[in-house]
Amino acid sequence: MMDSIPISDEARRMIDAAKAALSKGTGKRARHPGGRGDVNRARWRMLNRFVDKDMRTLPPSAALVWFALFRHADGKGVVSRALSMLEKDTALSRKTVRKSITALESAGLLSVSIKGNNVDGRYTTSCYRLRKMDK
């Protein structure tokens, strides 16, 4: 149908280039190359378990800290986050963030693998590991 409409050679080249560019993306690809689908499923499972079972046993501030850590955790549940960043993420005081981390450790939902230190009045980053959730 487009052949019956007179168009310039330049417009024809542009149309052909657009068709070629669009046809490149039509091949079937894996949904999540590199196995990201398994990581996403595991993270959803962890989140759902926390919301359904663990969250109701914690103080609200501890749940908020858990969500902030979960948001920044990698596929293995490991996260490096400074207390100052957790304060900003949650709008909680440093004292409340520390109490919340202690509550999460006591509940078995979190382990602290490296504690940040006070260096020249500034705290360094701590490393946390969120507990793997059982079914």
Specify the CATH number for the domain of residue 73.
1.10.10.10
pTM of the full structure: 0.66
| End-to-end C-alpha distance for the chain, whole angstroms | 59
List the chain pLDDT tens, one digit each, 135 residues. 555 667 777 777 777 777 776 666 555 554 545 555 677 888 888 888 888 898 899 999 999 999 999 999 988 888 988 888 999 999 999 999 999 999 999 999 999 887 666 666 665 678 888 986 554
Sequence-separated (6 or more) residues with CB below 8 Å from residue 81: 68, 69, 72, 89, 125, 126, 128
Q: Per the domain annotation, does 25 fall within a domain? A: no
Q: Per the domain annotation, does 5 fall within a domain? A: no
Structural domain of 78: 37-130
